[in-house]
Amino acid sequence: MPFSHHSHSGQFCPGHAKNSLEDVIQTAIAQKMQVFCLTEHMPRGKEDFYPEEISDTEEWHVKNEASFFAEAIRLREKYASQIKLVIGFEIDWIRPESLQLIEASRSRLPFEFFVGSVHHVHTIPIDYDTAMYNQAREVSGGTDERLFEDYFDSQLDMLQKLKPLVVGHFDLIRLKSADPNATFTQYPAVWEKIRRNLQFVASYGGILELNSAALRKGMSEPYPKGEICKEFLSMGGHFCMSDDSHGVDQVGYGYRQVLEFVDRTGITTLHYLDVSKGEDVPDSRFPETTIRSVSVQEIKQATFWL
Q: Give strand pairing partners of 239.
A: 208
Pick the CATH number of 88-305 from 3.20.20.70, 3.30.429.10, 3.30.70.100, 3.20.20.140: 3.20.20.140
188 upstream amide cis, omega within 30 of 0: no
H or E segment to which residue 275 belongs: strand 269-275
Q: Whole-model pTM? A: 0.96
Number of H helices and E strands in the chain, helices first, is 10, 11
For residue range 123-162, list pLDDT tens digits in order: 999 999 999 999 999 999 999 999 999 999 999 999 999 9
H or E segment to which residue 28 belongs: helix 21-30
Q: What number is the average pLDDT over the span 227-255?
A: 97
Q: Give strand pairing partners of 272.
A: 292
pLDDT at 278 over 60: no
Distance (Å, whole) CA 287 – CA 2 = 24
For residue range 61-107, list pLDDT tens digits in order: 999 999 999 999 999 999 999 999 999 999 999 999 999 999 999 99
β-pairing verdict for 113-116 and 269-275: unpaired
